[in-house]
Amino acid sequence: MSANPDRRAWFAAIAFAWLGAWLHLAGEWQADEQYRYGFGVPFLFCWMAWRRCRGTMEPGARTPAWWCMITAALLALLLGELLRWHDPLWRLTGALLTAAAALLTGAWLHRIGGAPLLRRGIFPLAFAALAVPWPVPVENWITQHLAAVVTDFATMLVNACGIAALQRGNVIELANGYVGVDDACSGIQSLQSALMVSFFLGEYFSLRPARRAALVLAGCVFSVAGNFVRIVTFTLITHTGGKSGAATWHDTVGAVATVAIFALLLFVAWKFSGGPIPPTAEASTPSAPAVGAEGRGIFAVTVAIFFTAWVWSSRTGHRDSTHRWILSDHQMPSGWRSESIAATASAKSQLRFTEWHSLRVQNTNGTAAQVIRLSWKGGARTPAFVTNHTPAVCLPSSGWKQSAPAFFLTLKVRGGELPCAAFPFERDGVRLLALQHLSSGGRPELRLMDPSQIPGTFARLGTLWHEPMRQITEEVLLYIPDPGDAEARKNSAAEFLNAVLSQRTP
């Protein structure tokens, strides 16, 4: 590498941008199981970039369009960094940081290699975008529709085989138990990873554009079909071995389905390529393409953006990890009964909580309710799932339909107030009321009570000038039979919460 200071400054600016984007996205990859494939994207991106950098280079000029690219990159980096400190749960944050890194890299490629090198670099830069989590509304829409389709066809096939099965939302009810089609089993997880593998194999085998598109389509088909077979297999195992049998084989069946999908994609890609990859002819490449004196300036602005975002965020202080509530059955009234409920593997993976307490409580009248209390450490990253997946999003996958708009409800619990968002549901004539309390450092957060009421992009950006969107540190959930009347709702909810919930001593 040349000792040119501007060359080193360019590389440092680009490296900072990509590392900042990937470190931020790593929190999402770790929190959401369906995005675990993201950890492999940076390595594959670097391999693709190295492979495509070989060839003819014609150093490009600093045209107005080039300066527009640099300006857009730096503005995206500034906004992305501000959001990273103030609203890290918003998936726009990762998209902006990735776009900034890609634009900076594109500008560098054009500067040292002109249009030929930039064209070769477009595909790796587009591939890097696969690591960015999808917008929540898009992800939820696809997940719910995939889950509904998979559940519907699986139920029809099982009934055709002579096994009595009843579909309840995204749950298949059998005589020996239930088979739930959760987010992972809906096909969204394998669909996203199959897209990544399809794009990579198309590049690895140097396929023509039409065959790459066909390979991506095959990946979508294989992922949906694989998850359909997976659900049918779980249903048959549950029918013969009960719930314990399904739990025993859950991971094995999932692993086999994933390997089968990837193996089929590899076979299709190999067939499309016509066999082994032919040797690639390398054109001569200048050893040290010329660059101007803009590298140090761009590096200085990049560092200034990171520093400015940090200074801007420091004015609002740090996240408070105070936890206000305790869930326990030690003070329940006489005659009440309770049963502890352990967290499912799916809840552990998606919520990444520090503490979990859940009780199924029954009063003397025989009315039962479930209370859940979760908490997160002050320094931990709260997954976006915590805020974005309210009961209005989660319960419909179990067959519950929201019967009325959500509303606010403030309950008196142990001498204090517990503000909640309340969601009325109905299924097969049974009414349910779900209450959700979110807080950050003991301060209630009632900002996302219904998907239709999520603030728009510009309104959410406006919070940058006021205060950060604090990460959730505590959540309380209550599921009770819905009495319908407003006063009866408040009394019933307060009765159960006062029986098992208490405030921490300061």
434 DSSP β-pair partners: 423, 479
Same domain, 206 and 69: no
The number of residues making up the chain comes to 506
Same domain, 37 and 119: yes
Q: Which string of DSSP letters, residue by residue, matches 25-48?
A: HHHHHHH-GGGGGGGGHHHHHHHH
Token output for 81: 């960094």
Query: Is 415 among the domain residues?
Result: yes
Burial of 342 (0-12, 13-18, 19+ CB in 10 A): exposed
CA distances from 130 to 4, 107, 136 (A): 33, 20, 15
Considering only CA atoms, give the Rg of the chain. Answer: 26
Same domain, 188 and 126: no
CA distances from 90 to 96, 156, 295, 463, 488 (A): 11, 38, 31, 12, 37
CA distances from 134 to 50, 81, 488 (A): 27, 19, 40
Query: Is 487 among the domain residues?
Result: yes
Same domain, 101 and 24: yes
Fill in the DSSP letter of residue 438.
E
CA distance 79 to 81: 5
Same domain, 386 and 414: yes
- Contact between 427 and 384 under an 8 Å Cβ cutoff? The reply is no
359 DSSP β-pair partners: 340, 371
Q: Cα 469 to the chain's mean position, in Å?
A: 18
CA distance 477 to 372: 5
Beta strands (DSSP E) in 414-493 are 416-427, 430-440, 443-444, 474-481
The pair phi, psi for residue 454, each rounded to 5°, is -65, 130
Same domain, 496 and 362: yes
CA distance 87 to 465: 12
**What sections of 274-377 are H helices per DSSP?**
294-314, 345-351
CA distance 6 to 12: 10
From first to last of the 506 residues of the chain, give the pLDDT tens digit.
Answer: 444 667 788 888 999 999 999 988 987 787 677 788 899 999 999 999 988 887 777 777 788 888 899 999 999 999 998 888 776 767 888 999 999 999 999 998 888 888 888 889 999 999 999 999 888 778 777 877 777 788 888 888 888 888 877 777 777 777 777 776 654 455 567 788 889 999 999 999 989 889 999 999 999 899 888 888 888 887 888 777 766 666 677 667 777 888 888 999 999 999 888 754 544 444 444 444 445 567 778 878 888 888 877 777 665 544 556 788 999 988 899 999 999 999 887 677 667 788 999 999 999 999 999 999 998 876 555 665 666 567 877 787 677 888 888 888 889 998 888 999 899 998 877 899 999 998 876 676 655 444 455 556 666 676 666 555 567 788 999 999 999 888 999 999 999 999 999 988 76
Token output for 97: 């940081």
Same domain, 218 and 338: no
Token output for 489: 């709702």
Residue 444 burial (CB count, 10 A): 16
CA distance 464 to 415: 35
CA distance 270 to 193: 19
Query: Is 315 among the domain residues?
Result: no
CA distance 29 to 22: 10
Query: Is 309 among the domain residues?
Result: no
Same domain, 497 and 356: yes
Same domain, 330 and 465: yes
Query: Is 361 among the domain residues?
Result: yes
Query: Is 449 among the domain residues?
Result: yes
Closest CA to 470 of 354, 351, 322: 322
CA distance 267 to 383: 36
- Three-state secondary structure readout of 279-290: CCCCCCCCCCCC
pLDDT at 293: 64
Closest CA to 56 of 137, 119, 129: 119
CA distance 488 to 205: 65
Through-space distance between the first and last CA atoms of the chain, rounded to whole angstroms: 60
Query: Is 477 among the domain residues?
Result: yes
Token output for 354: 């520090």
Domain boundary among 246, 273, 300: 273
CATH number at residue 486: 3.40.1000
Same domain, 353 and 485: yes
Beta strands (DSSP E) in 85-214 are 166-168, 171-174, 177-180
pLDDT at 150: 80
pLDDT at 319: 52
* Owning domain of residue 218: 146-273
Query: Is 441 among the domain residues?
Result: yes
Domain boundary among 80, 106, 133: 133
Q: Which string of DSSP letters, residue by residue, matches 207-221?
A: --HHHHHHHHHHHHH
Same domain, 95 and 150: no
Q: How many CA atoms lie within 13 A of 483 on its CB side?
A: 12
pLDDT at 439: 84
Same domain, 364 and 244: no
Q: State the total domains in the chain.
A: 3
pLDDT at 26: 87
Domain boundary among 273, 288, 311: 273
